Structure 1
Amino acid sequence: MNLPNKIGVYGGGRMGAGIAHAFLLTGGEVTVIEADAAAAAAAGQRVGESLAKAAERGKLAEPLEQVAKRLTATTDPAALSACGLVVEAVPEIVELKMQVLARIEESAPEAVLATNTSSLSVDQLASKLVRPERFLGLHFFNPVPASELVEIVIGAKTASGLVSEAQKWVEALGKTAITVTDSPGFASSRLGVAIALEAMRMLEDGVASAEDIDTAMTLGYKHPMGPLRTTDVVGLDVRLAIAEHLAREVGERFEPPTILREKIAAGHLGRKTGQGFYTW
């Protein structure tokens, strides 16, 4: 199974827009679904601006207009009917994701369904699907166009052949796949959050400044970005939700530190609000 020519993305926020961007570069048609007309228009604009920046950097293999015309942003899930793959990219709320996945399955009965969740159980999300064997996790990383990694998450009922096809799709995107079984936080989120939470505790305890803690990881361990700056980019609220989920599923070592809760209570969510562990 080659990469489907028609791809759907349900949710056009930062992650959904980035996923749409990545698939557009493969030459396929991409349909983004949003909740209302204003959100759909904003999603279309978000993808368009991302493509324009890529064009300025010489990252497009064809004219910008030609790539952009393959994008459709709408509110009608029926527009997904011809898609061979649909990626769900709505907020990390179990009930919302399950509702959206059921809607996608009804609208695109022949499509492979994927969730972009960074930590929620793929098996739980699949529990109400009619065809769970055609469902798996495709965890993209922010910013999607520049990120080199996609985490493929295998559910208990995911067809084995689908995993090998997903690996080929990731390769077609110019990215590298890692494959993990469904478990709390998978591999990437579990490790990333563990480091970030410890960095927050160190900052809270006055061990070092945010800048020096991050520099220890960028220069000492060759991380491209330190854990506190990464948290600002991801969003402190997103980090909190994942940490709370891991604390429930794995244990108290993932209990969020006070400094994280205090910053969120003050409205400091990171880059998207202009203030987090850094001023943006």
Structure 2
Amino acid sequence: MKMLVTGATGHLGSLVVEALLRTNTAADLAVSVRSPEKAEALRSQGVDVRQGDFDQPETLAKAFAGVDRLLLISTDGDNETRIRQHQNAVHAAKQAGVGFIAYTSVVNAEHNPLSLAEVHRKTEQAIRESGIPYTFLRNNWYLENEAGSAQAVIHGAPWVHATNDSQVGWATRRDYAEAAAAVLAGEGHENKVYELSGKLRTQAELAAIAGEVLGQEVHVQNVDDAAYADIMKGAGLPDFVVSMLVDMQAAIRQGALAVESDALETLLGRPAQPLSEGFKAILAK
């Protein structure tokens, strides 16, 4: 059985590969990366490193050749670019005769008000229409998304958000990666949709966990969208990023990430990593 992970040198992909190599031989694993020279460490371990560019579909068809099980990790960029890239990948997988696709989506993809959910809805649709057996790994929010807030607190700033008391199912990137590895290398996951969330918490509850790790009281400041935008601009973020973050805060406020599920721990076969441990790893960098 040949497994392939796309984006294997990225934050999530590298952790997936690390997890797979703990329980599978390198000969069973291939990776598709835009720049193979960045994956030399994997090649040296015996991993089959292939060149694949989501904007050059002909390279994807070659990269996916002979692959039984594919993990398609969602790309970065604007929605239009990501949708096009993902559709290229699905088409190439179909051409190459790939037998299974696991795809990293977002919780409640069909109805999620996050603007980025459009990418996942359309990609899930393309995978279903391809006829290839699939698993949708609908990830909630990565704890690492809050690294900026934690770093700001260290420098004396409050923990700022605009989500009121809405809840989010934060989990560490490592847990999401290990769940993806379990599905890619496992059995019985065909045509399943997994809503993957940690325990639901508010921003205030998350900030309290960060405060425990830091050994200091964290002042939490819940603001409206306009104030949040001003604070982000004051932090030096460009306007397009500020707009994106404000939209995210508004969607989270509407309950976009308040999806409760035990599927993550079921796939892991263990409790989720405590968020305190996740914060320690974030702050150590």
- Using the size of structure 1 for normalisation, the TM-score is 0.47
Higher relative contact order (CA 8 A, sep 6+): 2
What's the TM-score, normalizing by structure 2? 0.46
